[in-house]
Structure 1
Amino acid sequence: MLAPDRGVTPLRPAEDFIRDVEALRTQARENLDRGAVSAAYGADLERVVQMLQTALATELVCVLRYRQHHYAATGMDAEPIAAEFLAHSEEELGHAGLIAARISQLGSNPDFSPSTLEGRAHSEYVEADSLRAMVTENLVAERVAVAAYTDIIEWLGSSDPTTRRMLEQILAVEEEHADDLASMLDGLPAATGPA
């Protein structure tokens, strides 16, 4: 004998759904100035935008750090690592674009102010004096991003699925970056000399 399935909610009658559709249509006509943010939005909008502004700043700081390291990298092992820094910089710039677009969708303006950028970011802008130090600083920043995005995704839960999915995609790339950097670090001698 099969045990009853306690986790399945029975389907609602069709007439209930039709009434729900009418209610959705009525709600959709309210607060048109809120754009994509409807009455169904379940998250704390102000807090979500604040976290996204921090994520945007983090991505932009990473773009700048990776670029600086790309151009400053020298030495026997520098060429492939510098190329990887540039590729990571491009991907971080893409993340910044996704986050800025989502901030706009949520009815706010993305904050690109250079005067407060590093102070708002999770990661730091660190110029390093050796190739190994550059890889290390970028790995630290990626690990910070992974932890921060994981926390935000967990906090969002199902309250803002669009933002959550975007951040999950970004998180997957940040994890790849961390893995790449950990492999690079493992392949570098303990001291590689000046950058």
Structure 2
Amino acid sequence: MDLQAVIDQLNECLKHEWTGVAQYSQASFIVEGVWREVYASTFQDNAEESFGHAKLVGEKISALGGVPAVTRNEIKQTRDLKEILQNSLDFESKAVEMYSKALELAEGNRPLVIFLENILEEEQQGVDEFTLLLRNSGSADVSASDSKTA
């Protein structure tokens, strides 16, 4: 196992999680209309999950001798609920990809593999959740307001 490669990938995961904290929080703030009550708490829960993952990954990076990243990636913003849901699916899918790569790099370190598998399982649940929310959403009006971007 190349320890530095693992730390570098974990830092990419950490930056992604910091992005999730901001992106999901923003979505919970701006969703409006009749869908606010339905979705605001979902987005806030996802922001809290991202923060929880960030804490775990940051602590693991430190335990492995690295320095946790404090930067994040670009945040996607829109007021269109269907786009928010699609951005969320894309975000969760990217997380699955990133943790899968970290998992491959961690081969040979069973405790680290288990640690990453647990996070990966939660990220896959996010993919499943947003996939189901988006399925057949074209038949219902899920516009949070108008289609202007924030």
Q: CA deviation at 1:190?
A: 5.7
Contact 2:9 2:101 (C-alpha < 8 Å) held by counterparts: no
Distance 2:105 2:10 in 1: 13
Q: For each residue in 1:28-66, what CA deviation from the matched residue of structure 2 results, as whole angstroms up to 9, or x when unmatched?
A: xxxxxxxxxxxxxxx211111111111100011011100
Q: 2:40 pairs with 57, 82, 93, which one? A: 82
Distance 1:105 1:155 in 2: 17
Number of the residue aligned with 1:33: none
Q: Count the aligned residue pairs.
A: 144
Percent identity between the aligned chains?
A: 27
Distance 1:187 1:76 in 2: 19
Give the 3 Å change call, closer, same or farther, for CA 108–154 of structure 1 in structure 2.
closer
Number of the residue aligned with 1:9: none
Determine if the alignment matches structure 1 residue 99 to structure 2 residue 57: yes
Which ranges in structure 1 are unaligned for 5 or more consecutive residues?
Answer: 1-42, 119-123
Distance 2:69 2:98 in 1: 19
Distance 2:135 2:39 in 1: 13
Q: Which has the higher helix share?
A: 2
Q: Report the TM-score when normalising by structure 2.
A: 0.87
Give 1:20-35 correspondences, 5 Å limit: none
Which ranges in structure 2 are unaligned for 5 or more consecutive residues?
Answer: none
Q: After the TM superposition, which segments of 4 or more aligned residues of structure 1 sit over 3 Å from their partners? A: none
Give the 3 Å change call, closer, same or farther, for CA 186–75 of structure 1 in structure 2.
farther
Q: Report the TM-score when normalising by structure 1.
A: 0.68
Q: 2:69 pairs with 111, 118, 132, which one? A: 111
Distance 1:182 1:49 in 2: 30
Give 1:41-190 correspondences, 5 Å limit: 43-112=1-70, 114=71, 117-118=72-73, 124-158=74-108, 160-186=109-135, 188=137, 189=140
Determine if the alignment matches structure 1 residue 194 to structure 2 residue 146: yes
Query: Larger relative contact order (C-alpha < 8 A, sep ≥ 6)?
Result: 2
